[in-house]
Amino acid sequence: MGGAVRISGRLDLMALRRSAQRLVDRHPSLRTTFHTTPLGEIVQRVAPRAAVAFVSEVVNGDDDETLVKRLNDEADRPF
């Protein structure tokens, strides 16, 4: 699930990244992937560690319609 927030003021981006990484480190479900075996069975794998993929963008000056389109495009992108 994707989401967005509008932040006014100074953001400590490194603290946000560390917090997100700690959540992933603490919760195995956030490090879980599913794979298909050669026999067609689906198996679950929990990685011992997974680096958080984190993208930040400055969007000053974009109108709400442009931002909504960008967010929808990102939400529709396969992962």
Q: What is the mean pLDDT of the chain?
A: 88
Side chain identity, residue 55: V
Give dist(CA 31, CA 7) in Å, integer: 28
Model-level pTM greater than 0.75?
no
Neighbours of 5 (CB within 10 A): 4
* Structure confidence by residue, pLDDT tens digits, 25-53: 999 999 999 999 999 999 999 999 999 88
Q: What is the 3-state secondary structure (H, E, C) of 39-71?
A: CCCEEEEECCCCCCCCCCCCCCCCCHHHHHHHH
Q: Is the Cα torsion angle 66, 72, 47, 40 positive or negative in sign? A: negative
